Amino acid sequence: MTKKTIGTLFLTCLVILNFGLAFGQGVVTGLIIDAQHLSFKPSTSPKITNEDGRQVYGSAYIDKAWVEKHGIVSYAKSLPEAKNNPRVGENPLVVKAIRVTGANNMDLILSNEDAGKIREMAKHLNFLDQAKVIIVVP
Protein backbone atom coordinates (compact mmCIF):
# COMPACT_ATOMS: atom_id res chain seq x y z
CA MET A 1 0.00 0.00 0.00
CA THR A 2 1.13 3.51 -0.73
CA LYS A 3 1.27 6.29 1.85
CA LYS A 4 -1.62 8.00 0.06
CA THR A 5 -3.79 4.87 0.30
CA ILE A 6 -3.00 4.46 3.99
CA GLY A 7 -3.79 8.12 4.60
CA THR A 8 -7.10 7.83 2.77
CA LEU A 9 -8.05 4.71 4.74
CA PHE A 10 -7.12 6.44 8.00
CA LEU A 11 -9.27 9.49 7.18
CA THR A 12 -12.18 7.27 6.15
CA CYS A 13 -11.96 5.42 9.47
CA LEU A 14 -11.94 8.73 11.36
CA VAL A 15 -15.06 9.93 9.54
CA ILE A 16 -16.90 6.68 10.28
CA LEU A 17 -15.80 6.78 13.92
CA ASN A 18 -16.93 10.40 14.31
CA PHE A 19 -20.36 9.59 12.88
CA GLY A 20 -20.72 6.63 15.21
CA LEU A 21 -19.81 8.67 18.28
CA ALA A 22 -21.80 11.75 17.32
CA PHE A 23 -25.01 9.95 16.45
CA GLY A 24 -25.20 7.20 19.05
CA GLN A 25 -23.01 4.16 19.12
CA GLY A 26 -22.80 2.38 15.81
CA VAL A 27 -23.81 3.12 12.27
CA VAL A 28 -27.18 4.76 11.69
CA THR A 29 -29.39 2.22 9.91
CA GLY A 30 -32.53 4.22 9.19
CA LEU A 31 -34.55 7.34 9.93
CA ILE A 32 -37.63 7.79 12.10
CA ILE A 33 -39.48 11.09 11.84
CA ASP A 34 -41.77 11.75 14.79
CA ALA A 35 -44.82 13.66 13.55
CA GLN A 36 -47.36 12.37 16.06
CA HIS A 37 -47.77 15.83 17.63
CA LEU A 38 -48.70 17.43 14.28
CA SER A 39 -51.75 17.37 12.00
CA PHE A 40 -49.80 15.41 9.38
CA LYS A 41 -51.75 13.25 6.92
CA PRO A 42 -49.96 10.20 5.47
CA SER A 43 -49.52 10.05 1.71
CA THR A 44 -47.80 7.78 -0.78
CA SER A 45 -45.11 10.36 -1.54
CA PRO A 46 -44.43 12.79 1.33
CA LYS A 47 -41.76 15.45 0.95
CA ILE A 48 -39.47 16.26 3.86
CA THR A 49 -37.85 19.71 3.85
CA ASN A 50 -35.86 21.90 6.20
CA GLU A 51 -37.06 25.24 7.59
CA ASP A 52 -35.73 27.01 4.47
CA GLY A 53 -37.73 24.79 2.11
CA ARG A 54 -34.74 22.75 0.93
CA GLN A 55 -35.75 19.13 0.34
CA VAL A 56 -34.15 16.59 2.65
CA TYR A 57 -36.04 13.49 1.51
CA GLY A 58 -38.56 12.54 -1.13
CA SER A 59 -38.98 10.45 -4.26
CA ALA A 60 -35.93 12.00 -5.95
CA TYR A 61 -33.63 10.52 -3.28
CA ILE A 62 -34.61 6.89 -3.70
CA ASP A 63 -33.69 4.05 -6.01
CA LYS A 64 -36.79 3.55 -8.19
CA ALA A 65 -36.65 -0.25 -8.08
CA TRP A 66 -36.55 -0.11 -4.27
CA VAL A 67 -39.58 2.23 -4.16
CA GLU A 68 -41.62 -0.05 -6.40
CA LYS A 69 -41.01 -2.91 -4.01
CA HIS A 70 -41.10 -1.17 -0.60
CA GLY A 71 -42.61 2.29 -1.00
CA ILE A 72 -41.06 5.65 -0.10
CA VAL A 73 -41.87 5.48 3.62
CA SER A 74 -43.66 3.33 6.16
CA TYR A 75 -45.92 4.67 8.87
CA ALA A 76 -46.20 3.75 12.53
CA LYS A 77 -48.55 4.81 15.34
CA SER A 78 -45.87 5.01 18.06
CA LEU A 79 -42.12 5.39 18.51
CA PRO A 80 -41.75 1.87 19.97
CA GLU A 81 -43.59 0.42 16.95
CA ALA A 82 -41.31 2.37 14.60
CA LYS A 83 -38.13 1.38 16.43
CA ASN A 84 -39.10 -2.30 16.26
CA ASN A 85 -39.76 -2.20 12.52
CA PRO A 86 -36.98 -3.99 10.59
CA ARG A 87 -37.20 -1.35 7.85
CA VAL A 88 -35.10 1.07 9.93
CA GLY A 89 -32.72 -1.53 11.35
CA GLU A 90 -31.16 -1.68 14.79
CA ASN A 91 -29.93 1.90 15.15
CA PRO A 92 -32.23 4.46 13.49
CA LEU A 93 -31.80 8.20 13.90
CA VAL A 94 -34.94 9.70 15.46
CA VAL A 95 -35.86 13.30 14.68
CA LYS A 96 -38.95 15.35 15.42
CA ALA A 97 -40.81 17.16 12.66
CA ILE A 98 -41.51 20.78 13.59
CA ARG A 99 -44.35 21.64 11.17
CA VAL A 100 -46.55 20.31 8.41
CA THR A 101 -46.75 21.87 4.97
CA GLY A 102 -48.02 21.22 1.49
CA ALA A 103 -51.44 20.39 0.14
CA ASN A 104 -53.59 18.87 2.89
CA ASN A 105 -50.68 18.74 5.38
CA MET A 106 -48.99 15.83 3.59
CA ASP A 107 -45.39 17.11 3.82
CA LEU A 108 -43.14 17.68 6.83
CA ILE A 109 -40.60 20.28 7.89
CA LEU A 110 -37.56 19.39 10.00
CA SER A 111 -35.32 21.80 11.86
CA ASN A 112 -32.30 22.99 9.89
CA GLU A 113 -30.09 21.27 12.47
CA ASP A 114 -31.74 17.86 12.07
CA ALA A 115 -31.88 18.24 8.28
CA GLY A 116 -28.14 18.99 8.25
CA LYS A 117 -27.39 15.85 10.27
CA ILE A 118 -29.44 13.73 7.88
CA ARG A 119 -27.77 15.23 4.80
CA GLU A 120 -24.30 14.71 6.24
CA MET A 121 -24.99 11.09 7.17
CA ALA A 122 -26.61 10.39 3.79
CA LYS A 123 -23.28 11.22 2.11
CA HIS A 124 -21.74 8.12 3.72
CA LEU A 125 -24.71 5.80 4.36
CA ASN A 126 -27.44 4.36 2.14
CA PHE A 127 -30.50 4.51 4.42
CA LEU A 128 -32.19 7.24 2.36
CA ASP A 129 -31.43 5.57 -1.00
CA GLN A 130 -33.13 2.42 0.26
CA ALA A 131 -36.10 4.28 1.79
CA LYS A 132 -35.33 3.13 5.32
CA VAL A 133 -37.65 5.81 6.64
CA ILE A 134 -40.65 5.59 8.98
CA ILE A 135 -42.93 8.46 9.94
CA VAL A 136 -44.73 8.23 13.28
CA VAL A 137 -48.23 9.58 12.74
CA PRO A 138 -50.96 10.85 15.09
Measured CA distances, 53 to 11, 56, 100, 104, 117 (Å)? 33, 9, 12, 17, 16
pLDDT digit string, tens, across residues 57-84: 988 778 778 778 888 999 999 999 999 9
- Note the pLDDT of residue 68: 82
Average pLDDT, the chain: 84
The closest of 84, 121, 77, 79 to 96, measured between CA atoms, is: 79
β-sheet with 55-57: strand ranges across: 55-57, 48-49, 107-110, 92-101, 30-34, 133-136, 74-76
